[in-house]
Amino acid sequence: MFGVRAAIKNAVVARSVAIRSNASSSLVARRFYSEQPEETYEQFTNRYVKFFENVDDQFELQRGLNNCFAYDLVPDVAICEAALRAARRIDDFATASRVFEALKIKVDKPSQYEDYLKALKPVKDELGVQTKEELGL
């Protein structure tokens, strides 16, 4: 058993040395983030609305929500509506409810969260989505 571990360790060390020596002789790709143009809030909103309109599985939906909410802004009502519709289209009720949880965490004041709830009420009612508070959790 000990001989197998030693052999594996030696193979891993030899491979990492080979990778390092090859990496130093080749070109290294670099990203220059400052070269990318700034995106306006409207472009951001349109990009994510279009993304959620084309989502067809749970992984893509959750990945899109994670990326969208990672920005230093609160997503527009149109983005939230598109995400809710996508969640119900793929029959993911839990993620639809979590959109509201993410909004509650992301906003600065409770009054802003109430404004989002009012704006999204027709969609909530149409799709049958409930918030965590409405579910009693």
Would you kindly state where each structural domain of the chain is located, as residue ranges?
Answer: 38-135
Interval 79-133: pLDDT, tens: 999 999 999 999 999 999 999 999 999 999 999 999 999 999 999 999 999 988 8
Question: What kind of architecture, by CATH, is found in domain 38-135?
Answer: Alpha Horseshoe (1.25)
Q: Find tokens 């058993």 and name the residue.
A: 1
Distances in whole angstroms, Cα of residue 24 to Cα of each of 10, 13, 27, 47, 56: 21, 17, 8, 38, 42
Q: Find tokens 């670099």 and name the residue.
A: 30
Contact indicator for 103, 80 with CB cutoff of 8 Å: yes
- Tokens encoding 63: 């990945």
Answer yes or no: pTM beyond 0.85. Answer: no
Within the chain, residue ranges assigned H as helices are: 2-25, 41-53, 58-70, 77-89, 93-106, 110-127, 132-135
Interval 22-67: pLDDT, tens: 544 455 555 556 566 788 999 999 999 999 999 999 999 999 999 9
Length of the chain: 137
Q: How far apart are CA 4 and CA 26, in angstroms?
A: 33
